[in-house]
A and B are shown apart, each in its own frame.
Chain A
Amino acid sequence: MIEVDNLSKTFKVYHHRKGFFGSFVNLFSRKHRTVQAVDTVSFTVERGEIVGYLGPNGAGKSTTIKMLTGILVPSSGSVTVNGYVPHRQRKESAKHIGVVFGQRSHLWFDLPVQESFELLQRIYRIPQAQYRQNVEIFDELLNLGDFFQTPVRQLSLGQRMRADIAAALLHNPDVLFLDEPTIGLDVVAKARIREFIQRINAERQVTVVLTTHDLDDVEKLCKRVILIDNARLRFDGELTTLRRLLSTERLLSVDYAEIYPDVSIPNAHIVYQEGARVQYRFSPEEISAADLIGAILKKFKILDISIQEPDIEDLIKTVYEDNLMLERKLAEPISPDTQAN
C-alpha cells in the first residue's frame, strides 16, 4: 500500500528581511541555513493497517505526510502510495487517498456541508449511487444530518472534523491520512471519531496513517506505531512491543498503615515518600513484583498497594530522552517482517 524507502527532506530556511525594502532585497539575496526535516526514513504499510506516526513537534511528521500525499517533493529516497509516486503522479494519486488536516478544513468555508460534498462528488467524479450510499452511512455513524445544511464556517470544531473526515472518504480512498484528527476536541467527540475510524478501517479495509499528540488515539486505534524524532525513525513495530521494550521499570505505590521511619527495600528505589504513602520504582529483572510485595509485607503493615505500568506518554518520553537505551535494546531494528518470525 505504502512504501517509503530512505526518504529524506531537507529545507533551506531563509532569513527574511522585514519591510518593503527588505522584501525587495529578499528577492535577490537571501541567507539560509539547511534543515534536515526527514532523514532516511523507511517503512512499509500494508493494506488495512492503522499506523500511528508519532513524534514530538518538529520531528518531521507533517513533512512526511506531505510527501506521502504529494504536497511536497522528497529531496531523496522514494515513496509510493497505492503504486503511485505521489509527487510525480499527484492527480492520479490524489484519487486514491483521503487527507484530513486537523488544523484546517478541506471544505469550502462559506458553503453548506451538503454543497461541499456535492462539489467533491463532481471533483472526484463519484457515481451517484456510491455517493448516496456513503453519505447515508457517514450520516448514520457521524450524525451529519444535524448540520448538513449549515455553512462550514458556522460548524463547531467537532462537527467540522466529522464533516472533514466524511468528506475525505466520499470517493472511497484506499489510504486515509489523518493529521491530528482529534486536536482540540472534547472527549465525546474524540470517542466518536475514533469509533468511526475503526469501523471504516474494519469494514472497508482502508489503510490509515495517523499522526497525533493524543496518546489515547494511539492506544485505541493503532496496533502499530512508528516513532520519529529529530527527522529519524526511532521505532517501528507493535505498540505492545514498544511497551515491553521500555516497560522494564514499574512503579509500586503503597499506603502504609502507619508512618515508618525507614521504608527502604533492597532493589527498589523510593520515588517519593509522603506521610504513609510511598512510591517505589523497580525493575522486574532485579526483583519480581511478587518478591517485592513479599518483602514489604514481611516488614510493614499496609492498607493499599498498586502496581502501575508506565503509560505511552512516559514510554515515548523515555524514547526521546534516552535514545541510547532504545538503540541498545533495538540492536536489531524491529520491522513488521521480523516480528512475524
Chain B
Amino acid sequence: MHHLSLYFHFVKLRIRSQMEYRLSFVFDLFSQASVSVIDFCMIALLFNRFKQLEGWSLWEVGFLYGMIGICFAVAEMIGRGFDVFQESVVRGEFDTMLVRPLGTFYQVFAHEFVLRRVGRLAQAVAILLISNSQLVIYWSFAKVGYLLISLVSGTCFFIALFVIGATSCFWTVQSIEVINIFTHGGVFMGSYPFSIYRWWFRRFFTFIVPLACVNYFPSLFVLGKVESLGVSPVGVQLAPFAGFLFLGITMLFWRFGVSRYQSTGH
C-alpha cells in the first residue's frame, strides 16, 4: 500500500512539473498523436492497393495496430524511467537510489511518468474503436477480459524490453541501442499479421522475444480468426501470459545487473 500511494505521489509530481510548460506539452501531445495517425494512414494506403494481407482486412489490421499502439504508449508513459536509465547511471543517480529504503526496480519505475504519451494512447484507442466498429466482433465478458489482459501483458512486454536496455547499462556505459530495434521495430512488426513473416523470424518473436504472444495470438482469439500457423487454441488463449513471464524474467536479469553493479561499481 505504501508503495502504491508513493507511486501515485510520484506520478502527481511528474504530471505537475510537465504541465509547467503548457504550450510545449500541448504541442507534444498533438505531434505525437499525429505521428501515429500518419503511421496508420500508411497502412491504409497499402490496403487501398492490396485490399487484404494474408486474409486480413484493413480493419482487422487496424485492430492489431490499435492493440500494439496502446501497449507501447502505456509502456512509454510508465516505463520511461528504464528508457532513460543510462543517464541516471552516468549522473550517479543510481547510487542515490541504493541509499534509499526502497527497491531499485521500484525506484527506477517510479522515477518517470510521461503524461504526453496520452496523445499517442488516445490515437491508438481511437483506431482500435474505429476498427471494432467496422468489424463484426462478438464481445463477451470473457473476451473483454482477455483483451484487457492481453493489453496489460503487451505493456509488460515493452517495459521488459526497456528493462533489458536499462540493465545492460551495468555492463556497458553506452546502453545498447539494439533494444530500440525491438521496441520501435516491435511496434512496426506487430502492426502486421504475424503470418506474413518467415518461420525463423516467427519462432524468435514467439519464444525468445514473445511479441507475437502479446499481440498477434490474442488478436486471433478476439477477432475470431482461424489460426494458420498450427498453434493449438489453448496455446492461443494462454499466449498473453508470456508477456508477464517475460517481464518476470527481465526483473531477475535486473536484479542480477544490480548485484553486479554493487560488486563492481562499474
Instruction: Indicate whether A94 sits within 8 Å of B101 (C-beta atoms), given known contacts A27-B172, A66-B95.
Output: yes
Query: Which residues of the partner chain B approach A73 to less than 8 Å between Cβ atoms?
Result: 259, 262-263
B98 at the interface (CB under 8 A from A): yes
In the complex the two chains form, what is the Cα distance from A73 to B98 in whole Å? Answer: 12
Q: Would A115 and B13 count as touching, CB distance under 8 A? A: yes
A124 at the interface (CB under 8 A from B): yes
Interface centre among B13, B101, B174 (most CB of A within 10 A): B101
Query: Which residues of the partner chain A approach B13 to less than 8 Å between Cβ atoms?
Result: 108, 111, 115, 119
Instruction: Indicate whether A94 sits within 8 Å of B99 (C-beta atoms), given known contacts A72-B265, A73-B262.
Output: yes
Query: Which residues of the partner chain B approach A66 to less than 8 Å between Cβ atoms?
Result: 95, 265
Q: Would A94 and B100 count as touching, CB distance under 8 A? A: yes
Q: Would A91 and B99 count as touching, CB distance under 8 A? A: no
In the complex the two chains form, what is the Cα distance from A123 to B95 in whole Å? Answer: 16
| A1-59 contacts to B (CB < 8 Å) | 11-12, 16, 23, 26-27
Query: Which residues of the partner chain A approach B9 to less than 8 Å between Cβ atoms?
Result: 119, 122
A94 vs chain B, min Cβ distance (A): 4
B17 at the interface (CB under 8 A from A): yes
In the complex the two chains form, what is the Cα distance from A110 to B14 in whole Å? Answer: 9
**Chain B residue with the shortest CB-CB distance to A112:** B17
In the complex the two chains form, what is the Cα distance from A111 to B172 in whole Å? Answer: 30
Query: Which residues of the partner chain B approach A132 to less than 8 Å between Cβ atoms?
Result: none
**Chain A residue with the shortest CB-CB distance to B95:** A71
Stretch at the interface among A98-106, A199-207, A232-240, A280-288: A98-106
A69 at the interface (CB under 8 A from B): yes
Query: Which residues of the partner chain B approach A69 to less than 8 Å between Cβ atoms?
Result: 98-99
B171 at the interface (CB under 8 A from A): yes
Query: Which residues of the partner chain B approach A11 to less than 8 Å between Cβ atoms?
Result: 264-265
**Chain B residue with the shortest CB-CB distance to A120:** B100
Instruction: Indicate whether A123 sits within 8 Å of B6 (C-beta atoms), given known contacts A97-B99, A104-B91.
Output: yes
Query: Which residues of the partner chain A approach B93 to less than 8 Å between Cβ atoms?
Result: 104
In the complex the two chains form, what is the Cα distance from A101 to B98 in whole Å? Answer: 13
B133 at the interface (CB under 8 A from A): no
Q: Would A110 and B6 count as touching, CB distance under 8 A? A: no
Query: Which residues of the partner chain B approach A119 to less than 8 Å between Cβ atoms?
Result: 9-10, 13
B38 at the interface (CB under 8 A from A): no
A214 vs chain B, min Cβ distance (A): 21
A175 vs chain B, min Cβ distance (A): 12
| A44-87 contacts to B (CB < 8 Å) | 63, 66, 69-73, 75, 87
A90 at the interface (CB under 8 A from B): yes
Q: Which of B10, B176, B262 contacts A71 (CB under 8 A)?
A: B262
Q: Would B98 and A70 count as touching, CB distance under 8 A? A: yes
Q: Tell me how many residues of B have a C-beta within 8 Å of chain A.
A: 28
**Chain A residue with the shortest CB-CB distance to B96:** A106
Q: Which of B100, B173, B259, B265 contacts A123 (CB under 8 A)?
A: B100
Q: Would B102 and A72 count as touching, CB distance under 8 A? A: no
Q: Would A101 and B95 count as touching, CB distance under 8 A? A: yes
Q: Which of A95, A110, A125 contacts B17 (CB under 8 A)?
A: A110
Q: Scan B153-180; emit 1 where CB is below 8 A from any A CB, else 0.
A: 0000000000000000001111010000
A249 at the interface (CB under 8 A from B): no
Q: Would A72 and B101 count as touching, CB distance under 8 A? A: no
B103 at the interface (CB under 8 A from A): yes
A92 at the interface (CB under 8 A from B): yes
B92 at the interface (CB under 8 A from A): yes
In the complex the two chains form, what is the Cα distance from A48 to B171 in whole Å? Answer: 40
In the complex the two chains form, what is the Cα distance from A28 to B242 in whole Å? Answer: 28
B22 at the interface (CB under 8 A from A): no
B223 vs chain A, min Cβ distance (A): 40
Q: Would A12 and B264 count as touching, CB distance under 8 A? A: yes
Instruction: Indicate whether A95 sits within 8 Å of B101 (C-beta atoms), given known contacts A11-B264, A73-B262, A111-B17.
Output: yes
B18 vs chain A, min Cβ distance (A): 9
In the complex the two chains form, what is the Cα distance from A99 to B13 in whole Å? Answer: 24
Query: Which residues of the partner chain B approach A27 to less than 8 Å between Cβ atoms?
Result: 171-172
In the complex the two chains form, what is the Cα distance from A111 to B14 in whole Å? Answer: 9
Q: Which of B17, B172, B263, B264 contacts A26 (CB under 8 A)?
A: B172
In the complex the two chains form, what is the Cα distance from A46 to B176 in whole Å? Answer: 46
Q: Which of A63, A94, A95, A110 contacts B265 (CB under 8 A)?
A: A63
B2 at the interface (CB under 8 A from A): yes
A15 vs chain B, min Cβ distance (A): 13
Q: Would B102 and A91 count as touching, CB distance under 8 A? A: yes
Instruction: Indicate whether A70 sits within 8 Å of B99 (C-beta atoms), given known contacts A119-B9, A119-B13.
Output: yes
Q: Would B262 and A72 count as touching, CB distance under 8 A? A: yes
Q: Scan B77-111; emit 1 where CB is below 8 A from any A CB, else 0.
A: 00000000000000111011011111100000000
The list of the 10 closest CB pairs from A to B, nearest first, reads A94-B101, A99-B99, A91-B101, A71-B98, A95-B101, A73-B262, A106-B96, A73-B263, A104-B92, A23-B172
B interface list, Cβ under 8 A from A: 2, 5-6, 9-10, 13, 17, 91-93, 95-96, 98-103, 171-174, 176, 259, 262-265
Known: A11-B265, A23-B172, A63-B265. 5 other contacts (CB 8 A): A23-B176, A91-B103, A99-B99, A101-B92, A115-B13
